[in-house]
Chains A and B, each alone.
Chain A
Amino acid sequence: MSNGPKSTREAPKASTVRYKAALRKAIRKNRREPEIDFLNITAMLDLMTIILVFLLQTMASSTQSIQEGQDLQLARSFMQGEPSDQGVILVISKSAILLGEQGEAVVPLPSREQLASSGLDAKYKRSGPNDLYIVPLANALRNARKLDKAVRAAKNLDTSTSEAIIIADAKTPYRLLMEVMFTLGQSEFGKYHLMVMKKKGT
């Protein structure tokens, strides 16, 4: 078969330059912006993970993350201010007095009846059962005061006294509270923040 007659019927072609120009023009005309039908949130998830880890770590090391339990029930107060985070943390639970953020037990506590009548055992006191000075607590506070003094100096705060955050069980007898506060006062702690749970009302 011959192609001769077909080739003779073909329409005359435009030049290559014109053809390419027309092609570019048609491509530009038909071009569409790609639709964004999905969101790349990988970077955002990275950020969220970092923020979450940061928050968890901050909360874990905060004084405000006190866990209530059988051994420690905080007192309720109408006080509505923000809790202070300045100071050495001292916890008076039902079973022991604990010091510092790590909660190291300093003095074990006897029954509530004994505490309410004469306070801690005489063996923990400086000069007999009527004394308010708790020797093991004072020894532990001496180290805490030394550390807090350096921290306050670094923060340009008054170093003559330190502050203490007292987290006491709601049923703590007044006698024990005074013994602890008296020992704090004797250990150069001049201001106390009593931690309470807010309750509604006025």
Chain B
Amino acid sequence: MSEPENHPLSPAQRSRIRRLSRWEDPAPGEEAGELNIIPYLDIIMNIIVFVIATISVVFMSTLDVNPPSAGGGGKSTRTKTDSLNLTAIITNDGVGLKTSSGNIATGCERVGSGITIPKNGDGTYDFSALTKCARKLKSENDKFASETQVTVTANNNIEYQTIINFMDAMRMDNPEACSVDEESKAWTGAGCLFPNVNFGVAR
């Protein structure tokens, strides 16, 4: 039987074409199954909260210091007699400061006897006065501007927290103008006071 030629599509053929060419969404069973991740996310969230609550990563820092030496020498590079040679003694009554000129008297005004920065009336150390006194001593002579070292000695019973507070007070009086150079790891800026601390042991 020969094929029909040049006839248009019959209604039956058009109907069949419409039926066969109709787009059908895939049946639910044909779709890829979705993963239920809610229990997984619960576990992840619990772990993250636990980690954040227990590990105080971002709240820590370190202070770099040199080894102590008996007699209060420390790893000091100061040898010139016209340098400040600042030494601090933390006692139970306050903080005493000593320079090449001699012991700094109470009130940080002149050389003389007494505790330079006595404790406050409530028994706490007056670290703000200590910072002002350090600035005053450093500003007395232009030659002292480059000095960044202080040797600290303390009574046996002075707590570590007091030492850290002392280092904070002596480090700088203007944080905007004092920073650590990334390459040399040295403190630079006009706002720096005595950020390099050497420990000494009184004998």
User: Which residues of chain A have a CB within 8 Å of any CB of chain B?
Assistant: 10-16, 18-19, 22-23, 26-27, 29-32, 34, 38, 40-42, 45, 48, 52, 55-56, 59, 62, 64-68, 74-84, 116-119, 132, 165, 168-175, 177-178, 181-182, 184-185, 189-198, 202
B176 CB, nearest partner CB in chain A, Å:
9
A66 CB, nearest partner CB in chain B, Å:
7
- Tell me the bound Cα distance from A191 to B20 in angstroms: 83
With an 8 A cutoff between CB atoms, is B80 at the interface?
no
Q: Is B61 a contact of A15 with CB atoms below 8 Å?
A: no
With an 8 A cutoff between CB atoms, is B27 at the interface?
no
A contact residues around B55 at 8 Å (CB): 59, 64-65
Q: Is A75 a contact of B180 with CB atoms below 8 Å?
A: no
User: Which residues of chain B have a CB within 8 Å of any CB of chain A?
Assistant: 3-14, 16-18, 20-23, 26, 31-32, 34-35, 37, 40, 44, 47-48, 51, 54-57, 59-70, 90, 154-161, 163-165, 167-168, 171, 175, 180, 199, 201
Residue of A nearest to B26 (CB): A34
Which residue of A23, A68, A119, A169 is within 8 Å of B160 (Cβ)? A169
Which residue of B4, B48, B66 is within 8 Å of A13 (Cβ)? B4
B contact residues around A23 at 8 Å (CB): 16-17, 20-21
Q: Is A132 a contact of B10 with CB atoms below 8 Å?
A: no
- Tell me the bound Cα distance from A31 to B66 in angstroms: 77
- Tell me the bound Cα distance from A88 to B40 in angstroms: 38
Q: Is B160 a contact of A174 with CB atoms below 8 Å?
A: yes
A128 CB, nearest partner CB in chain B, Å:
14
- Tell me the bound Cα distance from A196 to B168 in angstroms: 11
